[in-house]
Structure 1
Amino acid sequence: MEFLKSAVASAISKGPAFGFTLGDRVDLSDSIWTLHNGTKKDDGSKCSVFAFDINANKSRLPLAKNALRKWRTLRHPGVVRVLDTLETDTNIYVATERVVPLGWHVKRNALNTETIKWGLYTISSTMKFVNEDASSIHGNLRVSSIYTTESGEWKLAGFEVLSSLKEEDPAIFTYGGLLPDSSRYAAPEIGRGGWDGLKNQAVHVTDSWNMGTLIYEIFNGYATQDQLSQIKSIPAPIAAPYRRLTQANPKLRLPISHFLEQGKRAGSFFDTPLIRCCEFIENMGVKDEREREEFLQNLEETKDQFPEEFFKAKVLPELLKSVEYGGGGPKVFSVVLMIADKLSEDEWESTITPCIVRLFSSPDRAIRVFLLDNLPKMIDHLPGKIVSGSIFPQLVTGFSDVAPIVREQTVKSILIVINKLSDRQINGDLLKYLAKTQNDEQPGIRTNTTICLGKIAKNLGQHTRAKVLAAAFTRSLRDPFVHARNAALMALAATADVFDETDCATKCLPAICPTLIDKEKIIRTQAQKTFDVYMARIKTLTANMPDTALPPPNSADANGVAGGAAAPRMGTPQTDASWAGWAISSFTKTLSSVTGEMQTQPQPPSSGVSTPTQENGSNTLGLPSTASSSRPGSSRSASTTSNLHRQAVSSSSPNSTIRSKSGNLQIDDDDDDADYDAWGAMGDETPAEKPKFGSTGGGGGGFGKTSAANEDDMINSLLNKPKSALPKGLGKKTAGTTTTATAKSTAAANRARIGKKPVIAGRAVAPPKKKEPPPPAADVDADAAWGNDNWDADWK
C-alpha cells in the first residue's frame, strides 16, 4: 500500500501540476479505476480521485480515455461532478467531489426502501437525460458505476463506453466487450448478436435492461440472468415496471423515461416524502410562502424517514440559502436547527456558525427574536471568541430597539451568553445597557432586568459588584410595579453574600424596611424573608468584631498618649448607671471653652447710675462690644437680643438676686420655669422669625455703639415690631395688645428717662419694671403669656 502511494505520488510529481493530493485507496471492484480519497491543496477540502494505471491496463486504455473525454463534457446534477483532470504517459487522474461506491451500502444491506426509491429516482432522471436529451447510450449501468455523495444522493459515473449515436464510430460498438464482467450484465440481444447488434435497436434498449438488473441487484443481490424473473424482495409497486424493463424482446422493453413517469404518478412508487422534499429543495427559491410553510411542516413530520447525510449535505445548505437570501424566515431556520443537532462540532463551525453571525446583523426583527429565543440551543456550539467578538456587538443593539419584545428577549439572552463574554464587556458595555432597561417604560422589562442582574451577580467584577447591585436593587424597590419590587427583594435575598456588613446595614436594610409595610401582601411577605436574611448576614459578619474600638486605658505611653492619640479629658464610663455622665461634662466643657458666646444680661444697680464703659470697647459687665458682636460668622447675633430680653424679664422676679464678684456677673435664679421656658423658646425660633435690633454697619443685629440721632427710631422700631417679625410664640393674641399709637406716645417718656437707665455697650437701656402678674386663667388664652402685652410692658 505504501509503495503504491509513493508510486502514484512520484508519477504525479513528474507530470503537469495537479492541485490535489491522493490519500487512502477505496477498494472498488468491477471497474477499471482505482478510487482514492483526496484533498485539495489550496484549501484542504475533501475530494475523490479516480486513477487509471496505463502500464497495468494498456488493453483498457481506450475505455479510460473515452470516460475522461465524456466526463469532462457531460454536465448534469445526477452525474459525479468533475473538479480537475490530469493525463500523463503513465496515469490518468480525475478529481471529483467526495464520493463513496454504492456497492459498499448494498453489501452491508444499509439501505432502506425509501432511500433506494430516492436513489432509483435520481438515476432514472439522469438516464432519461442521457438517452433522450444527449441521444446517447450509457452501456455500463450497474452498481459499480453509481456512487453516493456526502448528502446521500446517488450519482452516475462509469462512462467508459458512453456513446452518442450521432458519432461516426461509437465506442460502445468497438470496446463494449472490454468492460469488466460485460457478459454478466449484457442484454440478451447483445449475447446473440454482439455489440454491433445495438446499431439497429432503439437508444434506450440496453440501458433499460441494465436498469432492471440494477433494481434486482439492489434489492436481492445479482446472480444470473435466469434469476431476473424472480421478484423476491422487490417492492410490489415496482414489480410491474421492473418486469417490463427486463423483457427479453427489446421492442417490448420499457424506456427508462416511461419508468420514471409511472413512478412519479400520484401514489406511485416515486411519490414519497423524501423525493418530494428533494424536488422542493432544488426549487425552493421560486416557491411562495404557502408552499414553503407546507413543505417545512411535512419535513418536520417525516424527518425520521430521511437519511442523515441527506439532511446535512442536501437540505441544510439549501435551507441556509433560503434563510439568508430567499426570505425563509424563522420557520425555515427552525428546521435548520433541527438538522444541526446531528452535526459534529467541526460541521457546526463550518456550516452553521457563519450563518448565525450573519443573521445577527440582519435588520429583520423576526429573525432576531427567533435567534434570541433559540440561543440556548446554539450557545454550546459557538466559540467564546465568536460570541464576544462578532455576536455580542450585534446583540446589544436590541437593548435600544423600539420594539419591546426585542428589548425583553435581549435582556433574557444575557443569561445565555454571559459566560462567553470578557470582563470588559460585562462590567462596561453590558452594565451600561442594563442601566437603561432598568428604567424602561415597560414594567416587564424592568422586572426582567432586575432578575438578570441578580443571576449574573457572580460574573460581575469584585470592585463593582456590590455598588452596582445595591443601586439597582434599591431603585427597583421603589418601582410602582409590584412584580418589580418583588423581584428586587428576591434578588437582594439571593445576593446577600456579596455585600459586606456596612452595605447590609447602611444601604440594603434601610431600603428593605419600607417594603415591610407595603400595600401588597406578596411584597410584605417577601420583604420579611429578605429582612431576616440580612439580619442573619449582619449577625454573622459582626459575630467576631471586638467589643470596642477604643484603646485600653493602660496602654498610654510615657507622655500620657494612648495609641499615639491625645488622651481624652473625660473618663470612659465604667458602669451602666453613669452612662450619661460624660455627656453632661462634655457639654459643660464645651460652653466654657468656646469664646464669643453670649453671656447673661446684667441688671442695673439700684442707684440707677449707669455702668461705665471700658476703654477697649467692652463694658464692665463683660458683654461683647460692637466689634465682637458684629464680626462675620457669628451665628447667634440675630437671637442675642431676644435672649437678653427674656433674661431681663426673668431678672425682675422677686426670687432672683444679682451678685458680682471680681467684676463677673453671676445670677442665682430659684425659678426653674425660667430655664425651661428658655429651652422651649430656643427650640421654637426660626431664622425667619428672629428679631433684629439695628445694625452697626455689617453686624449681626446685636447691641452696639450708635449715634444719639437714631435712638428714637431704634426704640420705636423695637416697640412697633410687627407681629410677623417676632419670634414664634411671642405674637399677641389678647385684646390688651399695645397698638402702634400707644408705642409712639410712650417714646417721649422713654427718652426722658434715658439718663436714668443703665448703659450697655455705650447705650442707655430702660430698666425693667416689675413683672405684672398674669390675668386669671379663665380670662387669658393659653399662649397669652407670650403675647405683645408682656413684651411691651417689659420695655415701658
Structure 2
Amino acid sequence: MDFLKSAVASAISKGLAFPYAFGDRVDLDPSIWTLYNGTRREDGSACSIFSFDVTANKARLPLARNALKKLRTLRHPGVIKVLDTVETDTYIYIATERLVPLRWHVKRKSLTPETLKWGLFNIARTIKFINDEATSVHGSLKVASIFTSESGEWKLGGFEVLSNVKDDEANIYNYGSLVPDASRYTPPELARGGWDAIKRSNHWVVDSFNFGVLLFEVFNGDYIGSDQAGQTKNIPPTMQTGYKRLVNANPKSRISVANFLDMGQRHGAFFDSPLIKLTDGIENLGVKTEAEREEFLDDLDKVTDDFPEDFFKAKVLPELLKSVEFGGGGAKAFGLVMKISTKLSNDDFEAKVSPVVISLFANPDRAIRVCLLDNLPLMIDRFTQRIVNDKIFPQVVGGFTDLAPIVREQTLKSVLVFVPKLSDRTINGELLRHLAKTANDEQPGIRTNTAICLGKIAKNLGTSTRSKVLIAAFSRSLRDPFVHARSAALQAFAATCEYFSPEDITSRILPAICTILLDKEKQVRDQGMRTMEIFMQRIRKAAAEMPDTVLPPATSSDGNSNGAARMSTPQPDQGIASTTTSTWAGWAISSFTNKISTAAGEMEPSATAAAATLSPQTNASRPNMLSTASTSNLHRQAVRSPSATQPPSRNSSSSNMGGDSFFADAADDVVNDSAAADDAWGSLDDGFGDDDGGDAWGDNEGNEDAGPFAPKKAHTTAATTSRSVCGTGGVQPFGNEEAEPDFAGWLAEQEAKKKGGIAGGKTLPKGLAKTSTPSAPLAKRPAVKPAAKVVAKPAAKPVAKKINFAPKNNNDDDEGWGDGW
C-alpha cells in the first residue's frame, strides 16, 4: 500500500493527474492562497487555480484543508464552483471557474450602485443559506473572500474557518486568529473575549457584523478598523437603517443577514430593483407561464446599460435564446437578444447568436420575421457575405410575396441592408425580379418605397442594365395615381441623374417628366420642375461639349466651300420666330437660288439646244434627272399652246419666261447641271417623306405623267387649261393674273380622277390632250409617240419622290410635315 501511495504522489507531482495548465498569477489581498489564471488542457477552456504551498505554510495547513473540504461539499449558486482538486504532501491545488477578485472592481470603482446592490443581494442569500440551512458560520466575510465570475456574479470563497456550530472542535474556535487581516475585521465582542465568545450568542452575529463591514467597504473602497463601523458615508439612504443594525456593537441588538435580506426585498425597498428581479427569474424562464414570461420580459426591457454586461452575455443571453428558439419567447425575447448582442465580440456573436438567427429566418412566424428584419441593421455586419448570400437572403425573399403587407414592406426596407452583402449576380437577377413585383403592389406605400429603394441601390446595379431598369421603373411610377409615388419617382430620377446618358435623358426621361409638369398636385409639379432643371443642366453641359457640326465642308462648282453651311444659317439680327421660319421654310428656296446662280452661265439659249442635249440614251442612264425634267416640261406645255409647226414633245423646252416661270427655270437648271440637281433635289427629298410626296401628287398609278395641274377634261381649250405655277402652289388662269386661283376646282378634279378618272383612270397630261382648237392635226405627229415612250418609262420609277409645292386642302398639314421633319 505504501508503494501505491508513493507512486500516486509521484505521478501527481509530475502534473499527470492535474489536467490544468497554470497561467498568469493574479494579485490578491493577504491570503493563504496564491491565485493563477489557468486553462483546461483538454479543451482550452478558462479556469482559475488556487495553490497552497504546504512546505512554506505548514502552520496554516488546517485552514487550507478546511477550505478544500467545504468547497467540495457545499453547493450553492453563490459559492465558488469547483472543477477539480489535488492534494499532496507538498501542495494543494483547487481548480475553479474563472474568477476575478472583487477587490479589483472596488479599487477601480467600476461597479454602479445598482450592480453593487445586486452583488450584495447574492452574498446575502449565500450567507443566509450558510447560517440557516447549513447551521454554520463563515467567520471570514470580507471583500478579499469574494470573487466575480465570468457572468459578473459575486461568488463567495474564503472558507478557511467556515465551521458548523454543532461541532465543538470546529476550526473557527482554534484557528480563527490565523486568518490574514483577522484583527481588522473581527467583531468587538470577539476582540474582547476571544473566538469562544461565539458560543455565548447567536452563531450568525459574527457574519452579520462582517456583512455590515462588507457593505461599507464596497461603497467606500476601504475599511481600516472597527472605528469606521456604523459610518454611513456613500451608503444609499434606503440601506442605512439596516446597515446600522448589522454593525451594532451589542451582539444582541444586531439583526441577522436573513432579516436584512427580508427588509431589502419589501416592495420599493433597496433590493426591489429590475436587475435583481431579472437575475432571480432568468434561470426559470423556460418553465414560466405565458403571463409570467411577458411580465418578466417587460422588466428585462427596462434594464439600462448601467447593469453588468458580463451577466447578460453569460446568463441572460443563453436563456433568452432558448426561449426564442424552443420556449415560445417570441419577438419580444428576440428584441432583447439583439439588445444584448450588440455588446458581444464578433467571436462570441458567431458562436452564440449566429446559429440561432440563421435558423430563425426559416421560421414561418410573421412576428419573428418582422422582428428579425427590424433588427437586421444591428447584426448584418456580424455575418460574412457568404452566409448572407447563401443562407439568409434565400429565406428572406419569400417575404416579397407574403400575404401580409407589413411583411412585404419590411422585406423591401431590408433590401438596403442586404445589398452590400449580396453578390452582383443576386442583385441583378433575383432581387430585381422581386422589386419588379413590388413596383406593381396593390399597396401604394410599397410601390412608393420600391422607387425609393431603387434610387438608393442604383450604385449597386450592373452598368449594363442600370439605366434601363431605372428609367422603366421611375417612368412607371410617374404614372402612379398615388401622389407620393410620383413625387418619389421624381426625386429618384434627380438622385440618379449621373447614371443616365444625355441621349437617354433627351429621348426617354425628359418626355416622361414633361407630362408631370402640369400635375394636379402642387408638390408633384414643384418637384417636377426641380428635377427637370437638374436634367437640363446635364443637357446644357453635354451640348456645350459637342462640336458645332459634324458635316464635312461642301465644295460647289464655283469653289465656294461654305455655300452649304451658309444656306440655313440665320442672320444675327433675326428674332427667334423669324429665325425658325426662315430655317424651316427658306432652306429649300435658298438651295434653289444658289444652284441657279451657280449654273447661270451654262443654260442653253433655246429650247432646241436643250432638247438636243437630252438624248434618249442619256435620259435612260439618269432616270431621276429625267423624271424631274419631264415633270417640268409638262408644266411648260401646260402654259403654252402647241404650235402648228412644232409638235409637243416631252423633251422640248419652252423659252425662258422670267419670274413667272421660276420652277420651270429650276427644272432646266436641273437638266443641264446634274451635280447641282442631285444636291438640290436630294436635299428636298430628305426633308419630305415618300408618303408626303405620294399624297401630294395624287394617285399616279397607271398615269405616270399625271400631276396636280392636269386638265379637267380632254376637250378643254388651251386658253382655259393654261396654268402657271405661283409661289403659293395655287393654279390661276394664265390670261388673267388678277383673278383668284381656281383651287377648289382643281380639288374637285382630283376627287373625280380618284373615283374613275377620264378614259378609265388614264387621263392624258397637259399638252397631249385633244383640244377643240384645230390649230395642229394631232393625228399626223408620228414623232411624238416614240419620244413619249422613251421618256415616260424610265420616269415611272422615281414617281414616289415627286414633290408637291401646292398646299393640301385638309387638316393633315401638321401630320405630314411632322413626319417629314
Partner Cα separation in structure 1 for residue 433 and residue 368 of structure 2: 25
Note the C-alpha offset of 1:80: 2.1
Q: Which amino acid aligns with 2:93?
A: Y
Distance 1:393 1:14, change over 3 A: farther
- Matching of residue 31 in structure 1 with residue 23 in structure 2: no
Instruction: Tell me which residue corresponds to 1:720.
Output: none
Note the C-alpha offset of 1:313: 4.8
Note the C-alpha offset of 1:529: 3.7
Please list the CA deviations of residues 728-778 of structure 1 after superposition, one character each: whole Å capped at 9, or x if unmatched.
Answer: xxxxxxxxxxxxxxxxxxxxxxxxxxxxxxxxxxxxxxxxxxxxxxxxxxx
Instruction: Tell me which residue corresponds to 1:61.
Output: 61
Note the C-alpha offset of 1:348: 5.5
Q: Secondary structure at the match of 2:207?
A: helix
- Matching of residue 505 in structure 1 with residue 506 in structure 2: yes
Please list the CA deviations of residues 484-519 of structure 1 after superposition, one character each: whole Å capped at 9, or x if unmatched.
Answer: 223222222322221112222222233333334444
Q: 1:252-263 maps to which residues of 2 (within 5 A)?
A: 254-263=255-264
Instruction: Tell me which residue corresponds to 2:452.
Output: 451
Distance 1:122 1:547, change over 3 A: same
Instruction: Tell me which residue corresponds to 1:131.
Output: 131
Instruction: Tell me which residue corresponds to 1:121.
Output: 121
Q: 1:325-724 maps to which residues of 2 (within 5 A)?
A: 325-339=326-340, 356-379=357-380, 384=385, 386-552=387-553, 575-576=567-568, 577=586, 579=588, 652-655=714-717
Instruction: Tell me which residue corresponds to 2:724.
Output: none
Is contact 1:15–1:88 with CA below 8 Å preserved after alignment? no
Partner Cα separation in structure 1 for residue 406 and residue 365 of structure 2: 13
Q: TM-score, normalised by structure 1?
A: 0.64
- Matching of residue 14 in structure 1 with residue 14 in structure 2: yes
Q: Which amino acid aligns with 1:492?
A: F
Note the C-alpha offset of 1:145: 1.0
Distance 1:111 1:488, change over 3 A: closer
Partner Cα separation in structure 1 for residue 505 and residue 107 of structure 2: 74
Q: Secondary structure at the match of 2:516?
A: helix
Instruction: Tell me which residue corresponds to 1:144.
Output: 144
Note the C-alpha offset of 1:462: 1.4
Q: Secondary structure at the match of 1:303?
A: coil
Partner Cα separation in structure 2 for residue 521 and residue 589 of structure 1: 61
Q: Which amino acid aligns with 1:154?
A: W
Quick check: 334-343 or 527-536, which moved more? 334-343
Give the count of matched residue pairs: 613
Q: Secondary structure at the match of 2:52?
A: strand
Instruction: Tell me which residue corresponds to 2:96.
Output: 96
Note the C-alpha offset of 1:237: 4.9
Note the C-alpha offset of 1:223: 3.4
Q: Which amino acid aligns with 1:654?
A: T
Instruction: Tell me which residue corresponds to 2:776.
Output: none
Q: Which runs of 5+ in 2 are unaligned?
A: 1-9, 557-562, 569-585, 596-621, 629-633, 635-693, 720-732, 735-741, 763-808, 811-821
Note the C-alpha offset of 1:114: 3.9
Partner Cα separation in structure 2 for residue 479 and residue 681 of structure 1: 52
Distance 1:531 1:189, change over 3 A: closer
Note the C-alpha offset of 1:94: 3.0
Distance 1:347 1:497, change over 3 A: same
Distance 1:358 1:52, change over 3 A: farther
Q: Which amino acid aligns with 1:30?
A: P
Q: Which amino acid aligns with 1:575?
A: M
Please list the CA deviations of residues 146-165 of structure 1 after superposition, one character each: whole Å capped at 9, or x if unmatched.
Answer: 11234442211122333456
Q: Which amino acid aligns with 2:499?
A: V
Quick check: 409-418 or 199-208, which moved more? 199-208
Please list the CA deviations of residues 283-319 of structure 1 after superposition, one character each: whole Å capped at 9, or x if unmatched.
Answer: 4445555555555555566626645555555555544
Q: Which runs of 5+ in 1 are unaligned?
A: 1-9, 556-570, 595-599, 601-634, 658-668, 694-701, 704-781, 784-796
Partner Cα separation in structure 2 for residue 403 and residue 458 of structure 1: 30
Distance 1:400 1:68, change over 3 A: farther
Distance 1:536 1:357, change over 3 A: same
Distance 1:174 1:496, change over 3 A: same
Note the C-alpha offset of 1:409: 2.0
Note the C-alpha offset of 1:448: 1.0
Is contact 1:281–1:315 with CA below 8 Å preserved after alignment? yes
Distance 1:61 1:428, change over 3 A: farther
Is contact 2:190–2:198 with CA below 8 Å preserved after alignment? yes
Note the C-alpha offset of 1:173: 5.2
Distance 1:410 1:63, change over 3 A: same
Q: Secondary structure at the match of 1:31?
A: coil
Q: Secondary structure at the match of 2:267?
A: coil
Please list the CA deviations of residues 146-195 of structure 1 after superposition, one character each: whole Å capped at 9, or x if unmatched.
Answer: 11234442211122333456779755456545432345445567667766
Note the C-alpha offset of 1:138: 2.9
Is contact 2:211–2:246 with CA below 8 Å preserved after alignment? yes
Partner Cα separation in structure 2 for residue 511 and residue 214 of structure 1: 78
Is contact 2:52–2:91 with CA below 8 Å preserved after alignment? yes
Partner Cα separation in structure 1 for residue 507 and residue 445 of structure 2: 29
- Matching of residue 303 in structure 1 with residue 365 in structure 2: no
Q: Secondary structure at the match of 2:515?
A: helix
Partner Cα separation in structure 1 for residue 423 and residue 450 of structure 2: 20
Partner Cα separation in structure 2 for residue 285 and residue 257 of structure 1: 29
Partner Cα separation in structure 2 for residue 216 and residue 516 of structure 1: 76
Q: Which amino acid aligns with 1:515?
A: I
Distance 1:554 1:56, change over 3 A: farther
Is contact 2:285–2:293 with CA below 8 Å preserved after alignment? yes
Please list the CA deviations of residues 78-119 of structure 1 after superposition, one character each: whole Å capped at 9, or x if unmatched.
Answer: 112234445566544333333221223334455555443322
Distance 1:251 1:321, change over 3 A: same
Is contact 2:137–2:164 with CA below 8 Å preserved after alignment? yes
Is contact 1:512–1:531 with CA below 8 Å preserved after alignment? yes
Partner Cα separation in structure 1 for residue 115 and residue 161 of structure 2: 28
Q: 1:39-188 maps to which residues of 2 (within 5 A)?
A: 39-40=39-40, 45-87=45-87, 90-111=90-111, 113-164=113-164, 170-172=170-172, 175-186=175-186
Instruction: Tell me which residue corresponds to 2:210.
Output: 210
Instruction: Tell me which residue corresponds to 1:631.
Output: none
Note the C-alpha offset of 1:25: 1.9
Note the C-alpha offset of 1:446: 1.0
Note the C-alpha offset of 1:438: 0.7
Distance 1:411 1:234, change over 3 A: closer
Note the C-alpha offset of 1:143: 1.8
Partner Cα separation in structure 2 for residue 398 and residue 291 of structure 1: 32
Partner Cα separation in structure 2 for residue 510 and residue 290 of structure 1: 61
Q: TM-score, normalised by structure 2?
A: 0.63
Note the C-alpha offset of 1:672: 8.7
Note the C-alpha offset of 1:124: 1.4
Note the C-alpha offset of 1:44: 5.1
Q: Secondary structure at the match of 1:155?
A: strand
Note the C-alpha offset of 1:436: 1.2
Is contact 1:16–1:86 with CA below 8 Å preserved after alignment? no
Distance 1:87 1:544, change over 3 A: same
Note the C-alpha offset of 1:45: 4.8
